[in-house]
Amino acid sequence: MKVLVAERIAEEGINILQGFAEVDIKISISRKEILDIIEDYHAIIVRSVTKVDKELIEKAKNLKVIGRAGTGIDNVDVREATRRGIVVVNSPQGNSNAAAELAIGLIFSVCRNIPQAYMSVKNEDFRRNRFKGTELNGKTVGVVGLGRIGSIVASRIKCFDTRVIAYDPYISDDRYRKMGVEKCSDLDELLQQADIITLHMPKLNDTVNMIGEREIDLMKKGVRIINCARGGLIDEEALYKAIKDGKVAAAGLDVLEREPNYEAKPGEQEFSHPLLELDNVIFTPHLGASTFEAQYNVGVMIAEQTVSALKGEIVSAVNMPSLHVKDLGEIKRYLDLAEKMGKIYFQTEKHPVEKIEIFYSGKVSEQETKVTTLAFLKGFLEPIMSGENVNYVNAEMLVRARGIEVVESKSSHSERFTSLITATVTTKERKLTISGTVFGNDEMRLVDFFGYNVDFEPTTPFALAVQNIDQPGIIGQIGTILGIARVNIASMRLSRNKKGEKAVAFLGVDSEVSENVLQHIRNVDGILKATMIKF
């Protein structure tokens, strides 16, 4: 396995990656070079600078994992990665404290002109009357986005006897109450009241330029604005004008819509920005996550996640349902069962499917079931998508892209089994069900196959599913044909709903049954259908 590290991460993270894969560290690699070499790699590690967009992903024919060492994933085309089954992992908690502390640092800086005063002193100009500031005490601080970082900022800044108000439409009233933060029902309410506004939302379609001319108009004269989240959240032209006009007293920015090259030496830097020419704008070079602690956290976290994902283990990924590692042991046996159940349909039937319903009853319904549904969908597509990568990441998207509706439901009540998974596949003509359970710790059983009660343990790599008329001699003839073909039968289960009518037989076999042998079996008098299932 090969991993490309395209941006700086902690040494400890590199060591973890090197313990598993061949690692190429190419900091400051040009866009062109990445596009030229990315096909060789199975994983890429980036921070916020490298654009892992559709063009790059299309060229990355062998890519399995995109590791984003940090929080924001706005530089990764997650949709395209998902479509191609590439796991996207990030390490969002690792730098929250660091970013929050920087935001607070910038608040103090814009209130007390600390950086400007220091620069003045460096230039041997000690005229302090030029740097008269304002106190936080008694001021209203408006936090936009009360997630991980916004919450830390809110709780810390309260200690300076401030009134903290926040706008985050996705946070419950209870959380505001617990944090002792006043809720604003819309952004305008916050803008009209705050003396200091600090942004902590992600960059999304609906947050781009969220603070524009109209919003600045609503603000108090002399407001101070901090953006330690993402460039592009503030309309930079509007901000420039408002600072020039004196409406906004100062801004503390750690991010810009277009950022400098953070690796280039002074002479090599080709970057200018009108905002940076203003004395009351403080810009730090995207330093939010740059502490030893945060870089250790995100570097180690991203390396561990990347290695797990490369090993094919289930990880907590951006483009997969979240799953706690402690739950994995519990659900592992159901994942195996569901995947095997999923594999049955297209190996025995060919009709286009309109809907898949997965119903969890009994104890299994208490677990995380979303991943188990993905396991079924992965198994469902695998027989018809050979060569294409189907995995937990893209299975649902690929199934839905075929126009198939997927419905998951649960009930804690189960009549016959402690836990039961029932998958109903609806086609234009009919509905077919397959049910399975797990006995004890790991004894998987298929207990319903298209309306027949069975008791089949799908533990062999292949199985033969036979539908026949319930009459003597059939099983003997199948056994003889398989024997001659040197196919060993490991297990067998028969089921009929009524004597003399249709019946099914499941035979677990140790090796593949060739089409030729299947044809012989189909020719036996009374056999209606014979298919091989590869589990």
In SS3 terms, 65-102 reads as EEEECCCCCCCECHHHHHHCCCEEEECCCCCHHHHHHH
Instruction: For residue 46, state whether it binds ligand NAD (rule: CB under 6 A).
Output: no
Q: Is 8 in the site for ligand NAD (CB under 6 A)?
A: no
How many residues bind ligand MLT (CB under 6 A)? The answer is 9
Is 289 a binding residue for ligand NAD by CB under 6 A? The answer is yes
Q: Is 90 in the site for ligand NAD (CB under 6 A)?
A: no
521: left (phi over 0), alpha (psi -120 to 50) or beta: alpha
* Region near ligand NAD per CB under 6 A, out of 1-9, 195-203, 305-313, 341-349: 195-203
Binders of ligand MLT among residues 52 to 91 (CB under 6 A) are: 70-72
CA 391 from centre of chain: 13
Amino acid (one-letter) located at 501? E
Number of neighbours of residue 83 by Cβ within 10 angstroms: 17
The item of ligand MLT, ligand NAD, none sharing an interface with residue 148, based on CB under 5 to 8 Å by kind, is ligand NAD
Q: Please report whether residue 150 would count as binding ligand NAD according to CB under 6 A.
A: yes
Q: Which is nearer to ligand MLT, 284 or 367 (CB)?
A: 284
Tell me which residues are annotated as active site. Answer: 230, 259, 286
Rounded Cα–Cα distance for residues 183 and 170 (Å): 11
292 binds, among ligand MLT, ligand NAD, none (CB under 5 to 8 A by kind): none
Q: Determine the 3-state secondary structure of 331 from DSSP.
A: helix
Which of 197, 229, 371, 438 binds ligand NAD (CB under 6 A)? It is 229
The Cα–Cα gap between 269 and 275 comes to: 17
Q: Which is nearer to ligand MLT, 102 or 507 (CB)?
A: 102
Question: Which positions ≥6 away from 527 have C-beta within 8 Å?
Answer: 466, 467, 468, 474, 478, 521
Question: Nearest-CA neighbor of 405 among 426, 380, 423, 383?
Answer: 426
Tokens of 348: 């025995």
Interaction of residue 144 with ligand NAD, rule CB under 6 A: yes
Q: Which stretch binds ligand NAD (CB under 6 A): 199-207, 346-354, 370-378, 391-399?
A: 199-207
Within positions 82 to 141, which residues make up the interface with ligand MLT, using CB under 6 A?
95
Contact in structure between 228 and 197 (CB atoms under 8 Å): no
Among positions 6, 38, 60, 71, the unique one binding ligand NAD when judged by CB under 6 A: 71
- Two tokens, residue 378: 């992965």
Contact predicate 10/30, CB 8 Å: no
Under the binding rule (CB under 6 A), the answer on residue 148 touching ligand NAD is yes
Chain contacts with ligand MLT (rule: CB under 6 A): 47-48, 70-72, 95, 286, 288-289
Chain contacts with ligand NAD (rule: CB under 6 A): 70-72, 92, 95-96, 99, 144-150, 167-171, 200-203, 206-207, 228-230, 254-255, 286, 288-289
